[in-house]
Amino acid sequence: MKKLVFPLLLIIGTSSFSREIPITKVILYKNGISYIERKGRVRDNEIINLSFKDEISDILKSLTIRDLDGGKVFWIDYESKKPLDKILEDFSLNPLNDNLTSLLDKIKGAELDIALGGDVLNGRLLGLRKKAILKDNFKIELDVLDIIDENGGLKSILLDDIDEIRLKEKSIEDELNRALETIFQYRKKERKNLSLIAKGNGERNIIISYITEAPVWKSSYRIVAFEEKHSLFLQGWAIVDNLSDYNWNDVSLSLVSGKPISFISDLYSPIYKKRPVIKFEEEEVQKPTISERTFAGERKKAMVGGFAAIEVHDMALEMKETQEIEIATREMGDLFEYKIDYPVSIPSNKSALIPIIEGDIKGERLSLYNEANNPKNPLCCLSIENTTNLTLDKGPITVFENEAYAGEGILDRLRPTEKAFITYGVDLGVSVSPSVNSERRNVHYVSIIQGTMYAYYKNIELKTYSLQNNTLNQKEVIIEHPLRQGWDLKEPEKEMIYEQTPSYYRFRMNLSPNGSSSLCVKEEMTYYETYLLTNITKENIEVFVNMNYISPEIKGTFEKIIKLKDKINEIQKKIASQEKRYSEIFKDQERIRENLKVLKDTPTEKKLAEEYVNKLSNQEKELEALKKEIEGLYLDKESYTNELNNIIKNINFEKNI
């Protein structure tokens, strides 16, 4: 019996109807996404419709549906669309990838009207080509249009000289217009509809959640400082934008500080794989052949490979309902959530300021001086400690003093119990004059290790900050002094440091009304100079003795080193001289031997040959003597060098000066 296949909606039943599930929860993140949760009730078998724009890929990546009362989401379907490049494959002209020259190249033979300098030229297109010309000593290539005119003449026209090209064949014009219209319609932002088909019995609760792109929510703060109070009043607001197509009516709103990883993956557009094109050669006509005979016996049966059946299982995703939290905030690893504890309503394409914090925090007004920021005056500053149980997100902060505007600053992310300085203006009531004095101290320590002498000395820098309070109020000033690599703080004592950061020492100073004060910061850095003992000279020894760098014993050792170096240098000079003499004799012998080869058997030349032979014999004796002398010199040099190295190696010396 044949199996009958019914449409999906008929299988579900005739009681299906469409319902929209309202948005009940919104979570906004700093990475530009939002988590949307819809919650509502369905009855029996229903179709739930959702509509989206460009965020459809995020929906397909994250859409989660939970039927809380035993039902099941039976199916999700949505409108799909063939990719544009696939649609345009049906057109011979493709404006998506073609420019003017490539389009013209595809309509060779078409009849054209060409507007050229006030005249109209009619002809058929033969093709396009490149023409090289020389312009301003540069070689450039221009596009040339070749046509055959109505009189049969061949003409070439520079494409840049043409004012207008009109197609005379309507079929080509129509196809080009259809292709352009197709591109335009395809790129229009249209809504994509999703239909969720829920199947079950009776009324049930259903939750639909997904992520989608959303504007980043922003923090903004106001802080009020009162003269008579030591605490500060802080008020924080979140700026939230609902630029979606849906109203947020009495939704549960949460704002999350932090940036979880998120990305866009195009799951909506169908993907086509390009397959390789393989060309097969034409089969040749088979010639008749005579097959060989087989051996006696049965023919072997061919083995056919089997295919293992693959069983596909549906995996049910079990998820618990989100646990409601009682507190307004919570830590989530590196994230921090502000959960608004009352329903929020923001219509579509509207924005809102939502209060997220309000109350007193610990802090005081100070003046903060940093020469790099302002060399003449400190900045007005609030020193605050986050005594709330909330993490304060980064954002601008407006400061009021005694109910009057005082300035603006930036609050960096601040966790509970953390402290921060917020600068918001220039304190013109306090002036600061920094001055620097530097000096280099003499060598204070000398050491000799493994043939190298180290002479240590110090650079000392004294920086003075002179402060003047020009107001009738007492001032508390924090001075930030750079903490530099390699410099050691000597004054003031480290117990006087108010705070220390990775980049600064902070010193706190009290200025009485119309009073003045100064802070002196003394720092030292140790340097050293090196001297290789193999390179020391008599002049060096005299300097070392005069500067009291070395002891009399070391002086004697240094003098012995110099004597050994002098001996080695003398031996090296002798070696060089004797090796030069050896080379000269050897070359002279080569010359003599070449001369002997060309002498003839005449009395005169025989006599000359005898003289050459005697000279060669004498030179051989001299070469032998030179060789022995050079070998002896090398042995002497090696002996003195070993003695020098042993002396240098065994010197270990240190001295405080």
Residues 6+ apart with CB under 8 A from 512: 469, 474
Find the mean pLDDT for residues 96-124.
Answer: 78
Question: Is the Cβ–Cβ distance between 415 and 456 less than 8 Å?
Answer: no
Q: State the Cα–Cα distance between residues 362 and 419, nearest whole angstrom.
A: 10
Position with higher pLDDT, 356 vs 14: 356
Residue 513 has pLDDT above 50, yes or no: yes
Residues 6+ apart with CB under 8 A from 8: 74, 75, 197
- Vertex 66, ends 60 and 71: CA angle to 5°? 120
Chain-centroid distance of CA 257 in Å reads 22
- DSSP one-letter string for 315-380: PP---PPPPP-SSSEEEETTEEEEE-SS-EEE-TTEEEEEEEEEEEEEEEEEEEEETTT-SSSPEE
Position with higher pLDDT, 328 vs 74: 74
> What are the backbone dihedrals phi and psi of residue 90, each rounded to the nearest 5 degrees, phi first?
-80, -10
What is the pLDDT, as a whole number, of residue 266?
61
Find the mean pLDDT for residues 43-60.
Answer: 78
Position with higher pLDDT, 71 vs 349: 349
Q: State the Cα–Cα distance between residues 326 and 340, nearest whole angstrom.
A: 11
How confident is residue 218, by pLDDT bands cut at 50, 70 and 90? very high
- What is the residue type of 533? L
Mean pLDDT estimate for the chain: 81
pTM of the model: 0.59
What is the dihedral sign for C-alpha 320, 324, 330, 336? positive
Question: Is the Cβ–Cβ distance between 19 and 46 less than 8 Å?
Answer: yes
Given the DSSP bridges, would you call strands 18-19 and 46-52 parallel, antiparallel or unpaired? Answer: parallel
- For the CA atoms of 614, 616, 617, 622, the dihedral, rounded to the nearest 10 degrees, stands at 130
Of 19, 11, 8, 75, nearest to 46 by C-alpha is 19
Q: Facing residues of 122 across strands? A: 113
Read off the pLDDT of residues 25-37 as tens digits, 9 standing for 90 and up: 999 988 888 999 9
Residue 9 has pLDDT above 60, yes or no: no
Residue 150 has pLDDT above 90, yes or no: no
What is the pLDDT, as a whole number, of residue 304?
31
Read off the pLDDT of residues 487-506 as tens digits, 9 standing for 90 and up: 999 999 888 899 999 999 99
Question: How many CA atoms within 13 Å lie on the side-chain side of 323?
Answer: 4
Of 300, 352, 261, 291, nearest to 61 by C-alpha is 261
Name the least confident of 33-47, 58-72, 379-393, 398-412: 58-72
- What is the residue type of 304? V
Given the DSSP bridges, would you call strands 379-385 and 350-370 parallel, antiparallel or unpaired? Answer: antiparallel
Residues 6+ apart with CB under 8 A from 278: none
Helix extents (H) in 161-284: 170-187
Residue 1 has pLDDT above 60, yes or no: no
Position with higher pLDDT, 379 vs 98: 379
What is the pLDDT, as a whole number, of residue 18?
53
CA 641 vs CA 516, 567, 579, 644, 645: distances in Å:
68, 9, 20, 5, 6
Residue 147: how many other CB atoms lie within 10 Å: 20
Read off the pLDDT of residues 307-327 as tens digits, 9 standing for 90 and up: 333 232 332 223 233 333 233
